[in-house]
Each structure stands twice: as structure tokens, then as C-alpha cells.
Structure 1
Amino acid sequence: VGYMSPEQAQGQVREIDHRSDIFSFGCILYEAATGLRAFEGKDVLDSLHKIVYAPTPQIKDTNAAAPDELQRIVRRCLAKEPEKRYQSIKDVGIELEELRQELKGLPEFQQTVQPAAGGRAVSPEAQPKTEGAYPSAIRTAEIGASRPTSSAEYVVSGISRHKRAALAALLVVAGIAAASWYYFHSQNSKVTIHSIAVLPFTNVSKDADMEYLSDGISESLINSLSQLPGVKVIARSSAFAYKGKETDLKEVANALGVEAILTGRVTQRGENLSISVELVHASDKTQMWGEQYDRKMSDLLAIQREIAREIVEKLKVKVSGEEKGPAKHYTESNEAYQLYLKGRFYWNKRTPEALKKSIEYFNQAIEKDPGFALAYAGLADSYVVPANRLPPREAMPKAKAAAMRALELDETLAEAHVSLGRVLAAYDWEWTSAEREYKRAIELNPRYATAHQWYGGYFDAMGRHNEAIAERKLAQELEPLSLIMNFELGLGFYNARDYDQAIEQFQKTLELDQNFPPAHALLPAVYEQKGMYAEAIAGYKKSLTLKSEWAGPMAGLGHVYAVSGNKSEARRVLDELKRVSGQEYVPATSIALIYAGLGEKDQAFAWLDKGYEQRAFQLQGIKVEPRWDSLRSDPRFQDLMRRVGLPP
């Protein structure tokens, strides 16, 4: 993380090019000159924040002997804006070489003696000193002469005695590194790929029951490739925006900001499975690789892993022995894996009926393989999303148990940390623990948009609007075509009371999908805050025709009727909500909201207390939701916030 460029740290995929590498090189050069990281933070998020916002540190603050020219070179490498950096690594190498030549003639440089092979470094003083030395030199002196000194240790420890000579030696190494970097990239620029989108595979058989298979293979490949170091992989929600559409691959690549696109076709006939895949270089639409696999359904897992390995080879990705790459296997049961794919297929639909099916399939996958961590993570996700209509006291404990079991099996599963954080925030109201889970998820996978989305929700609940919007912007940049990420950014503007920005963002979301229910459910609330009551009422009525989440739009409609003076209509809506609440779960906060609009505070607080007993999801937002403003001055409201664990 400490070597990311600002555009990488913010997930700005389209902005990433060779100049991001120059920023990373500047970080390495700074560290070599000072022994410290340029943007060291107390944790991953703090480091990312410093990369984006903190000024470039001064080398002289740590190493007073550093020449001004070196500081200038490093500062230009570490410019926040790519256009202000060196435009090629070759230019960096040339300037480093010029600086080295300037220092080369100094007497100090000529007096420095290189360490003999296998021996310790020596100098004219012949006395080891630690005063004023770098920490690494002090540690070497403390250890003693029990082992030879490396060339790197020699350069660092020698800075205290021959600072300019050591810097010159550093510049030799840096110049060689820059030249090598330039050579590697110039030789491989035509084949090295840094970004890829996996478009949804086509279900050739047109059998709707097999749609889970084509979607599942695509999503699994996205997840596998996302484990690769240094490769940007477009998330599912953005890639699947092109599902079922005839698209020009070059236009798709430009829209998503990627260099390569993987497409595929899946055909199943009985137990026979045929998968054809093609990897295309988007700039010229040339095929980098293509293959057809004719196997049995029982070979599905093996086929997918083989495809992933082939893609890694064609992308020219270097994976070290310590990195998992795409080789991380969660199950060896082909049957469990197919059930998991079905579970994810229905989970992605995000309807109450589909979520019931997803829970069934995830449980069946777990029965086939009790050690299948991803299946537990999927089960947790199915219980934790708002589209699940189960009462929180029934759904959330199941979500928590599934997430914790997933983490027992694999602590490095970012998705499970995020789901657990969601339960801790929205149900347990253990805010400190929730933040810890979100931060751990981001540490494990900084490109996991949902982690940033829900971490933004945490900041929102705390009333920290700038941080909430920043996290949601990052989520939206990571998944630019995701409906929920775009919606959540609008929600952040609404809670921050930037209503014009909220309207603009919700309208952008509806441009992606004109029938997206959450945007239709909340846009009217923004209109209400601007006094646009007619537009708010029309908006809620439109939302109710979409037959998705019902209680929220009904509560909003009743509230706007009440505050606009139409109390008879408000009471009609109130009565309907009460009637339905006797038959199925309705958040008590929905009924409380209408009473708040009517000015009946005692009834509003009575229903808010019922919401507290329900552990209603909506209570986490009471600190910032504008429609509760009429109750804020009442001591009972402050007491409720205290019980929910929110700051005053």
C-alpha cells in the first residue's frame, strides 16, 4: 500500500498508467535515501490518506546531507498529479546519473572503500561508530561481527561517516534500477497487461436454469484474478452491466478503463460442458489468447482453475512465492462449488424471493463441504442485506454466526470481515468493533468496493460526513457502473444535507437503471427537504409501483403528507402500515416517522422504542437522517442515540 500512487489509492482505474510506476519508484528512492517510507501511516487507511493528501516529505528532514537536486527529483516523482511527474522512467534515470556524476568527484566518494567479498566494510577511520547513524546501522553494530555486512547495510551505515559518498552509491543503484525499469517496460509494453474486465459469459443453450453457470464462471474468474498483485480487475457489478448486450469491445474497454477483455461462451448438454474463452487486447481488438474446453460437469472446478492459470500467463503477471495469486482454492468438491454458484446467482438478484433461494443453496453447499469458507460468507451476505425481509432478531444472529465461521476457516476472507462489520454496526451497535472489521477487510483487499461502501455507512452514522463521502466516492470509482455504489454516494450527500448534489447523484443512478428501487425511494426525501412536496409525493408513488421494498416509501409518503398539511392522507398511510405490521415484519421506525411528521411526539417515541426492541436497521441512521429533526431537541431522542451507541 505504501508504494501506491494517488490514482491507485483512490481506485481511479482510468488514470493509471506508467506514471503510477514513476510515483512508486519515487517512494522507493525516498526510502533508500532516508530509511523511512514516504507515506507511512498508523494503518492501511491512514497510509492511503497520506498518499492522496499529505505533502511530499523532505529528505533533508531526515538526511541533512542530501543534495537539493535529489530532493527535487524525488519531489517530482511524487507529484500528486500524474502530468506533473516525469513522463518516463528514462528521464528519471538520466537525472539520477547526472547527479551521481556531480557527486563522483568529491574526495569523500573516492575515499570510500567497498566491502570485500564476504567481509566487513572498512573506511579510513577504521572505527565503527553508531552516533548519528541510521537505526539499521545501530542494529548492525549491536549484533557485532558475527556475520558479514551486506552491501546494502554498508551503504546505509556508512552514511553517518561518508554521507555524500553513500548518497552517490545510492544514486548508482537508483540509476541502474531506473534504467532496468525503463528497459523492462519498453520491452514488454506490448504484452504486459495491468487491467482487465471479465464480461459475463454467454449462456449459449438459452436454458434459464443454466444461467447460474455462465454467470458463476464469470464471477469466479473475476474473484480469482482479483487476487493477482498489480492487476486491476473490474468488479462484477460494473462488468455485468453489459450482460445480454451487443457491445463493441474497444468502447467497453474505454468505458471501464481497461487494456484487456475476457469473453466466453458456455454450453451444457446433459453432463457435457463446453466453455470457449477469448482474451482480447482492447486497443487493437487482437486476440491474445483463445481456447475451448470440452469436459464433463464434474470437471468444472478444474476447468476454471486452468482458465485462470492461462490468463495469468498471457497477462505476463509475475507472482512471487509468498503471494497466493489465483491459486487459492476454497473447496475441492465440484458439487459444493456448483451449489455455491447457484447461491451467488440468486443473491445477486437482491429480491426477497431470490434471497430465500440463495440461502437454500449456500446451506446445501455447506452440507457438501463443511469447510467451504466462501459458502459461509455467501450465507452471511444473504442475511445481512436489507432486501432480506426477515426480522433483524432472526436474520442478524444467523449472519453473524455464518461470517464468524467463514473467518474461522479463512481469516483472510475480506468479504466475511465486511459482513461481520455490517452486523456489528447495524444490529449489535458495537461501532468500534465494526470499524475494526471494515479496516481489516480493506487491508486485505483495498479494491473491495463493498468494504468502502459500508465503511462509508459507518462514518455516516457517526456524523463524519466528509469521510463518509470520501469512502463512498472510492467505492463508486472502483465500481463506476454499480447501481448501489452510485446510490450510496447520493445517500452520503443527503445525510450531509447537500441536497442539490444528492439530487444530481440519484439522477445519475437512475440514468444507469431508470427503475432502480433505492434511488426512487430516497430521491423524494430530498425533494421534501427542499420543500418540493408535489415532486416528493409523485416520487414516492412511483417508488411504490416498483414492488420492491415497501415500508420505506410508504413511511416517506406518509411523512411528506403530514409535513405538507395533508394529515388525513398521512393517517390513511399510517393505518395501512399498522395493518400490515400485524401480518409481517415492518420496521417500527417507519410508523414512528409518520407520527414525527404529524407532530405527535409521544407516539413517535413509543414506536421508536419498539424499533429499538426490534433492532431495526434504520436506527443506525437516526443521528443524521434529516426527517428526525423535529425530535432532536427532546431528551428522549438523545437517550435513544445513547442506547444505540451513537455520539451526541
Structure 2
Amino acid sequence: MDRKLSAILAADVVGYSTQMERDEAGTFERLRAGRKELFEPEIARHHGRVFKLIGDGLLAEFGSVVDAVECAVSLQRGLVERNAAVSEDHRIRVRIGINLGEVIVEGEDRYGEGVNVAARLQQLAQPGGICVSGKVAKEVEKKLAFGFEPMGEQKLKNIAESVKVYRVLLDPAVAGKPRDDVNQPPRFWRNLAVSIGVLVVAVGLAAAWWRLWEPTIRPAALEANAKADARPSLVVLPFDNLSDDKAQGYLADGFTEDLTTELARIPGLFVVSRNAASAYKGKETKPAEVAAALGVRYMLEGSIRRVGDDMRINAQLVDGSTTGHLWAERFDGQWADVFALQDKVVASIAGALKLRLVSAQGKADFAGGTRNPAAYEAYLMGMEIYNRRNTPEEFAQAVRLFQQALELDPNFGAAAASLAWAYWEMDGPRVKALAVSDIIAIYNVYKYLEQAAKHPSPSYYQLVASLLVREHRSDEAVAVMFKAVALDPSDPLNYVGLAEALSFNGRPNEARDYLDAANRVDPGGNDHRHYQTGLAAFGQGRFEEAVDYLERIDLQSPDPWPKFYGLQVLVSAYAHLGRSDQVAAYSDRLRNVMLERKDGGANQLVTQRYFVFKNPADIGRLLDGLDKAGVPELPEQLDLDAKDRLTGSEIRSLILGHDLRGGGAWIDKGTSWVQENFLCDAIPKVQTTCGAIFRNPAGTPGRGHEYTAVFRFDRFEFSTIK
């Protein structure tokens, strides 16, 4: 058996089946012409050869990995030029994957894991995009004028070990070294916004920068993120806890996080998220390796030692390109001086990077922070407990610490926001541990949000936006999330929350931009980002692309929400694509998840409760796919006759603008509208609910039981009186 080292290029056409179904002869001819006129000549010009054609795809071998990458870029650029001359539905788009590895030689064919990895990488690429393995990126990093964006460690189907994957950036302006991905901890710090710094770069720019959520400035904010490597780039590595009491690690974690947040607010400075930096906690890593892995030039590292009230902070700024120390300093003081010490560190770093700082509005007032050291410490202790996989008893302990922080400083907006999040995320065991009812928990959510609104933090905006979306108010949610992004541009949760609001607002194109921004500050994906990217692709009608992302969701994960949402979109997308086998397989999984969630089984009433699109076409696209997949509109055990059900137009003329009698708690509680053949209501402080309306054959006009409204779990009888 002969083996050799080769660069393998795998290419596959996006949406080929759909195009063939629409225009078989024309699609075949366009694909054949593309191979003859573009692919085969370009591959030959780059000293490669096609060794296998697979339906709408091909595999090619290159002796040089540089030739393989240059060829892939030429192919994608050539397709852009060819597609410019044809209509949208006739364009040929491909995904390309490239791997460098050992292959088995059998005549003119090639086999083995080297080939298989290339094929799997192709599946990870976006339409018109190129994905390469870490081996490829390492080989070409200094030889080509292309950048490489990390996609993290990816588990590829039928490949035993995870593979580091990079997306090729075709713009020479973003050329640079490849960056290794880092693993994400099981949970983000939800409340990333105890604002400690008060610093803004460049006199005169501060006021404009803090208004990044304004529509006229939004594109510039995106552009700055897209070209992050054109700016000075920095990571704050986890500070070491040198205190004798190792339980005080929360102080070092909090200090690290606050520095990251403050530095990220400086215009012109790109700061990697604290989540990406956390992978290096407690590890001995060479500065040059960190710089290459995270795609930054500068690293801030240091330690904290606290003995009683005395504190010592050591910090140093390292240039990863030279491994030289730009600045190092020791700060001594009292715990009561912790905020002033942080300000000094930020100012010193700015000076080392030659950024000019001016004091602005007090930080405690501006972003939900505090100037009370005791409140700050209680908050940090609570966050350390809250963000690990805690027991219900530990959860209750974290809540008590947040309450203590808020008692010590009633203006501590971030602590109030953390309490609102805690009560919002409570489940049965946690409710029991705190000895409160579900009703009281919801009451506390809005009570603490009202308090947090006086001194808003990013986590306050995150929760407010999520609640606004549920109430069918995505316009407001988008505006709120732009404020969160402005307060902390290094937090991926802000970009993901903004993307969600934009998708439900009917703006999936913009949602994709902000999901890209999340991946830039926090390289590597997770289930929630896979779902959001799939949702945005689905909203653009890109069903092939949607399923690519949605299938990456880990259905064995203990987190129920990505699979709960993602499976509904995935089933609909596969139904639109006409893939009955996948529809059947994922429909079974969807039913199981619905049963786990105790949402009454898979039906379209459940879907409309959670997918609160602003535009009728968007919810119509999702429901149409679920119809094709056989997902019922109503609970299967419903005992009403289908012939008595009202259509959308009948509901509109019967109910909207009329007074109703009966209906129990349902009547006159919110804003109503007709969606498909359903009546929907957005009730303040309660998420949207949709139902079907039936005539009651035994009902008496005007007596409160002429019609029956059927919702997810409830049903009400009512009559119209005028």
C-alpha cells in the first residue's frame, strides 16, 4: 500500500439539488461549463489534478499546500465574476475545504483520512467560502496575502480527533497569522459589566463612540470589528491569585474581567473577550504562542495578592511579536483603593500603547458599577458561584450575595441585573431552594430590572431585549442591544443577543454580521451561535446553509434551548429542501425534546409562542416548512371538529376591534393580531401566545360561549358583543 503527503482540495456546490429540481438541464449545463472553463484550468494552472468527481463536487490533489490555497481563492473569485452575469437563482456557489495529510495511493485515486478531513472541512465552509485545517494554515501563514479566522476545535463526522479549523479571509487587508482556537468554559459570565474604568480615547471622540447604537454609526462599528487586526490588539490574560487564601480566586477573576471590559471600550483598540482568554488560566504558555492563537499583538498579564486589607497588583504588558516587555509595574494599596488601582493599570497600558486618555463620566453611574469595595466583593463572590455548574443550594447562596451587594450599594445596577437574571433562570429545584413561588420569581425579575434600569449594565440590556422579543417588540429590542454592544464591545453575548433581535425583526443579513463579530471577539462556536446562524440563514431562504449550522448543535447537551429552538428550524428547513428521510429523523428528535420541555408535544402553537417574528413572511416560512414536515398545527388530542375552525380572515373580522365577553384571563390583556389562521396576543410581562378559534355549535350568541379559543395548554369560551 503506497502512501504520500498531499494537499487535498474538496469542493461542493451549494443548493445543487434545489437548482436541479427547478431547472435540471440548465443546472447541469452551468455546472459542466464551470468545470471545463474555470475549475479544471485553474487546478491545472496551480499544478494540481482532479482525481474524483462526486455528483456536484470534486476532489483535487496538490503537491504544494500553497498552490492548493491559491487555487481555492482563484476559484472563488472566478465564480464571483461568472455569477455577476447571471440571475440569482442561476448562480453556482461552492464551498471549499483544504487539508494537508497522508493519503493512500491506489492508481489515480486517493483515499484515507487526509481526503476525508478535506471533505468534512468543505461542509463547514460558508457558501463562497474556504475552510482549511490547522496544518494548512500553519504551512502558508507567512507565504500568502490572506488572513485566517479561527473557527475553533471542530469535531468532524467519522474523524476520531478534533481538528483545528480556520476560515480563509480573502481580503489582503486582513492578512495575518493563523490563530489557534480556544475552548469555551461551560457557561459565560452572564453579568459582564461591573464597569470599573472611566477612560475614553481621544478628546472629542468619546461622546460619539458611546452612541454606536445610532443607525448612522452602526456600519462604522461593524467595519471596525471586521478589520480588527488593523487596530492595536490586546488580550487580558487571567490574573493569578497569589493570596494565601486560594478561595479568593474570585478577586483575580473579577479584576481580569473588569480590565477587559474597560479596555474594550477604548475606540481604536481591539480586545479579545475574557471567555477566549480564560483558556489560558493556570497554564504556562509562551507569549508568541498566545499572540498567534488569539490573533493579538499585546498581552497583559499579572497577579493579585491580598492579605487582609492590603493589596499588591503586579502587571506587565508584553509585545507578542517581539516577546519584549513594553511596561511592567507594581501597585500597592488597600482593598478600598481597588478601583483607583484598576484605573492606574488601564491608564498605564494606554500610555505604553501611546493612547491618550481623558476622564469621562463616573464609571459607577455610567455602566451599572459600584464604588463600594464591600459591595463589589460580594458581587464577585456571587458571580463566581453563579457561573459554575452549581447546586440549587449554591444558586441560592449566589442570590443572597447579589442581594447583599445591592443592600450595600442600592445604585449597583449590575448586581440588580444579576438578581433579575437569577430569578428569570430559576427552575423547579432552584425555586424550592429559595422558597419562592413561580409567580413571585417573575415578580422579582421585573422588580430588579426596574432597579437595574436606573444604572444600566450590558447584562441589564441583554435581559430586557430578550423579554422585549418575547412580547413581539423586536424594534425596541434591537435598539436596546445596540446599547449593550456599545457598553462592552468585547462581550460575544451582546452580539449574539443583537443578532437574535435582528433575525426576529426581519433583518437576518445584519444578524449574520453581528454573529461574525461575536466570533471575532470570541473565536470558536457554540450551540447557541450555531442556532442563531442557522436561524439567520433560514431567514434569508438559504436552507442548505441553515441545515449546515443547525446540524452542529449537540443534541446530547444538557442545555435544552439550542436544540429546542434549532430542531424546529432544522425540520422546517429540511422539509423545504424536500429531504424526507432527514425530516422524519429530526421530527422524532424534536418530539422528544418537546416532551422533555413539557411543552405539550410538537405543534405549531408551541412554535409560535417562541418564534416571535415581526414580519408575516418570516413566520409563514417557518410554519410552511413544519406543515410540509407533518408537524400538526394544534395539539393532537384536541376534541374539536376541524370544520368549525375559523380562518384568519374570519378571526380578523370577528375579533379585532370588537369587545368580547367571557374568555377568563385571556380577554383584553394585550395586543392582538392575526397570524396565518391563528389569533396571537402579546401580553405585557408575558411572552406571546397564539391560538386557534372554533365555533361552538352549542353556544348562544352574546352569552359568553359562542366560540372557543384554543391555546397551547388553555382553552376559553367567549362571545362577541359589539
State the TM bucket, normalised to the shorter chain: 0.5 to 0.7
Deviations along 1:517-573, one digit per CA (max 9) or x if unpaired, are 7666677667756434797599x6xxxxxxxxxxxxxx64266xxxxxxxxxxxxxx
Aligned to 1:113: none
Equivalent pair of 2:241/2:303 in contact (CA under 8 Å)? yes
| Residues 1:380 and 1:628: Cα distance change in structure 2 (over 3 Å) | farther
Report the TM-score, using the length of structure 2 for normalisation: 0.48
Aligned to 2:382: 343
* Secondary structure at the counterpart of residue 279 of structure 2: helix
The letter of the residue matching 1:264 is: G
Equivalent pair of 2:680/2:689 in contact (CA under 8 Å)? yes
Find 2:401's aligned residue among 361, 367, 391. 361
| Residues 1:467 and 1:216: Cα distance change in structure 2 (over 3 Å) | same
* Secondary structure at the counterpart of residue 642 of structure 1: strand
* Secondary structure at the counterpart of residue 454 of structure 2: helix
| Residues 1:310 and 1:392: Cα distance change in structure 2 (over 3 Å) | farther
Aligned to 1:451: 494
Find 2:465's aligned residue among 397, 416, 421. 421
Equivalent pair of 1:469/1:492 in contact (CA under 8 Å)? no
Aligned positions of 1:547-558 closer than 5 A: 556-557=591-592
Aligned to 1:156: none
Aligned positions of 1:313-462 closer than 5 A: 313-320=351-358, 330-349=369-388, 353=392, 355-384=395-424, 394-409=440-455, 413-426=457-470, 428-442=471-485, 448-462=491-505
Deviations along 1:98-122, one digit per CA (max 9) or x if unpaired, are xxxxxxxxxxxxxxxxxxxxxxxxx
| Residues 1:429 and 1:81: Cα distance change in structure 2 (over 3 Å) | closer
- 1:381 and 1:395 mapped to 2: Cα distance? 10
Aligned to 1:305: 343
* Secondary structure at the counterpart of residue 357 of structure 2: coil
| Residues 1:447 and 1:270: Cα distance change in structure 2 (over 3 Å) | closer
* Secondary structure at the counterpart of residue 422 of structure 1: helix
* Secondary structure at the counterpart of residue 228 of structure 1: coil
* Secondary structure at the counterpart of residue 44 of structure 1: coil
The letter of the residue matching 1:340 is: Y
Aligned to 1:187: none
Equivalent pair of 2:316/2:328 in contact (CA under 8 Å)? yes
- 1:446 and 1:298 mapped to 2: Cα distance? 28
| Residues 1:18 and 1:470: Cα distance change in structure 2 (over 3 Å) | closer
The letter of the residue matching 2:288 is: K
The letter of the residue matching 1:409 is: H
Cα drift, residue 338 of structure 1: 0.5
* Secondary structure at the counterpart of residue 591 of structure 1: coil
- Mind listing any 5+ residue stretches in structure 1 that lack a counterpart? 1-6, 8-13, 21-40, 54-77, 88-192, 541-554, 560-573, 578-585, 597-603
Cα drift, residue 245 of structure 1: 3.8
Deviations along 1:80-102, one digit per CA (max 9) or x if unpaired, are 9999xxx9xxxxxxxxxxxxxxx
Aligned to 2:273: 235
Equivalent pair of 2:474/2:504 in contact (CA under 8 Å)? no
Equivalent pair of 1:195/1:232 in contact (CA under 8 Å)? yes
Aligned to 2:714: none
* Secondary structure at the counterpart of residue 261 of structure 2: helix
Aligned to 1:264: 302
The letter of the residue matching 2:373 is: N
- 2:449 and 2:304 mapped to 1: Cα distance? 32
- 2:526 and 2:227 mapped to 1: Cα distance? 29
Q: Are 2:529 and 1:486 aligned?
A: yes
| Residues 1:409 and 1:44: Cα distance change in structure 2 (over 3 Å) | closer
* Secondary structure at the counterpart of residue 356 of structure 2: coil
Cα drift, residue 375 of structure 1: 1.9
Q: Are 2:83 and 1:48 aligned?
A: no
- 1:592 and 1:484 mapped to 2: Cα distance? 23
Deviations along 1:394-433, one digit per CA (max 9) or x if unpaired, are 54543333333233235xx44433332222222x443343
Aligned to 2:116: none
The letter of the residue matching 2:247 is: D
Deviations along 1:280-321, one digit per CA (max 9) or x if unpaired, are 111111112223445554443343333223222222211246
Deviations along 1:343-380, one digit per CA (max 9) or x if unpaired, are 33234337674654433222110101112222223333
* Secondary structure at the counterpart of residue 289 of structure 1: strand
Equivalent pair of 1:308/1:326 in contact (CA under 8 Å)? no
Equivalent pair of 2:287/2:323 in contact (CA under 8 Å)? yes
| Residues 1:233 and 1:525: Cα distance change in structure 2 (over 3 Å) | same
- 1:506 and 1:320 mapped to 2: Cα distance? 46
| Residues 1:217 and 1:45: Cα distance change in structure 2 (over 3 Å) | same
| Residues 1:245 and 1:323: Cα distance change in structure 2 (over 3 Å) | same
Deviates more, 1:630-639 or 1:273-282: 630-639
Cα drift, residue 337 of structure 1: 0.7
Find 1:283's aligned residue among 294, 305, 321. 321
Report the TM-score, using the length of structure 1 for normalisation: 0.53
- Mind listing any 5+ residue stretches in structure 2 that lack a counterpart? 1-146, 148-167, 175-210, 432-436, 575-580, 635-646, 652-674, 691-722
| Residues 1:264 and 1:509: Cα distance change in structure 2 (over 3 Å) | farther
- 1:270 and 1:470 mapped to 2: Cα distance? 47
- 2:380 and 2:250 mapped to 1: Cα distance? 6
Identity percentage over the alignment?
A: 22
- 2:360 and 2:304 mapped to 1: Cα distance? 34
Deviations along 1:309-337, one digit per CA (max 9) or x if unpaired, are 32222222112465779997932211101
- 1:325 and 1:409 mapped to 2: Cα distance? 10
Q: Which has the higher helix share?
A: 1
Deviates more, 1:451-460 or 1:241-250: 241-250
Equivalent pair of 1:480/1:486 in contact (CA under 8 Å)? no
The letter of the residue matching 1:305 is: D
- 2:485 and 2:591 mapped to 1: Cα distance? 34
Aligned to 1:135: none
Deviations along 1:102-144, one digit per CA (max 9) or x if unpaired, are xxxxxxxxxxxxxxxxxxxxxxxxxxxxxxxxxxxxxxxxxxx
Output the aligned Cα RMSD: 5.0
Aligned positions of 1:552-631 closer than 5 A: 556-557=591-592, 574=595, 590-593=599-602, 596=603, 623=619, 629=627, 630-631=631-632
| Residues 1:405 and 1:522: Cα distance change in structure 2 (over 3 Å) | closer
Deviates more, 1:446-455 or 1:389-398: 389-398
Aligned to 2:513: 470
* Secondary structure at the counterpart of residue 234 of structure 2: strand
Equivalent pair of 2:261/2:490 in contact (CA under 8 Å)? no
The letter of the residue matching 1:454 is: G
The letter of the residue matching 1:377 is: A
| Residues 1:557 and 1:338: Cα distance change in structure 2 (over 3 Å) | same
Equivalent pair of 2:237/2:256 in contact (CA under 8 Å)? yes
| Residues 1:327 and 1:480: Cα distance change in structure 2 (over 3 Å) | farther
Aligned residues: 422
* Secondary structure at the counterpart of residue 643 of structure 1: strand
| Residues 1:381 and 1:301: Cα distance change in structure 2 (over 3 Å) | same
Q: Which has the higher strand share?
A: 2
The letter of the residue matching 1:369 is: D
The letter of the residue matching 1:459 is: L
Equivalent pair of 1:453/1:488 in contact (CA under 8 Å)? no
Equivalent pair of 1:619/1:644 in contact (CA under 8 Å)? no
- 2:376 and 2:228 mapped to 1: Cα distance? 43
